[in-house]
Every structure is written in structure tokens, then in C-alpha cells.
Amino acid sequence: MNPILSGIAKYFPTVLAGVIAVEQAVAGAAGQSKKQIVVTAIDTAAKFGEQVNNTDVQLVSVLIDTTVSALNAVGVFGKSAPPAVPAA
């Protein structure tokens, strides 16, 4: 199997779960900070099971960006509407 497709199949479920969990936990944080939380968590967890090479870390980083972009595009992480102001 293509190594990139294999990496996506391997990491996507973890990336998706991580992105959603971090968004729920620290929704107001900057996107780059939230991404770093997910990358660090996945990297740390993977090191307990096996060595993670730099290519996998780069793949996870791109996969996070792509996942967040897709979830933003369909409105999962859309900005909440500002509160309605009553008419005077």
C-alpha cells in the first residue's frame, strides 16, 4: 500500500478524535495552539507503542490541517452567531 495512504488510514481516526476533543476543551484558543496540542498528544502516545518517524509527524500535521479545514467548511467548528441585540 502507498505509504501516504497507509499513514492516513493509520492516523485519521486518532487525528479526528483529537481535533474534536481539543476544540471542545479549548475552543477559544488560537488554531495553531490547538494543532500543537493534538500533534504533541499523538506524538507522545505513538512513542509508547512504537517509534514515530519525522515523515509520520509531518503527515499528522497535514492531516490535522485538512481535517480542521473540512470540519470548518461543513460548519462543525463554525463561529457562533453573535447574540441578538433587542430593538430599542
Whether 20 is covered by a domain: the verdict is: yes
The answer to whether the predicted template modeling score (pTM) of the entire model surpasses 0.85 is no
| pLDDT tens, N- to C-terminus, the chain (88 residues) | 788 888 888 888 888 888 888 888 888 888 888 888 888 887 777 777 666 666 777 888 888 888 888 888 888 876 544 444 445 4
How many Å apart are CA 41 and CA 59, to the nearest integer? 15
The grid coordinates of residue 26 equal 479549548
Let me know if residue 82 belongs to a domain.
Answer: no
Q: Report if residue 56 sits inside a domain.
A: yes
Range of the domain at 9: 3-73
Domain count of the fold of the chain? 1
Say how far apart CA 6 and CA 27 lie, in whole Å: 30
Distance CA 69, CA 31 (A): 11
Q: Which residues contact 55 (CB under 8 A, 6 or more apart)?
A: 3, 7
Residue 87 lies in a domain: no
Give kind and range of the element (H or E) at residue 57: helix 54-73
Would you list the DSSP string of 58-76? Answer: HHHHHHHHHHHHHHHHTTT
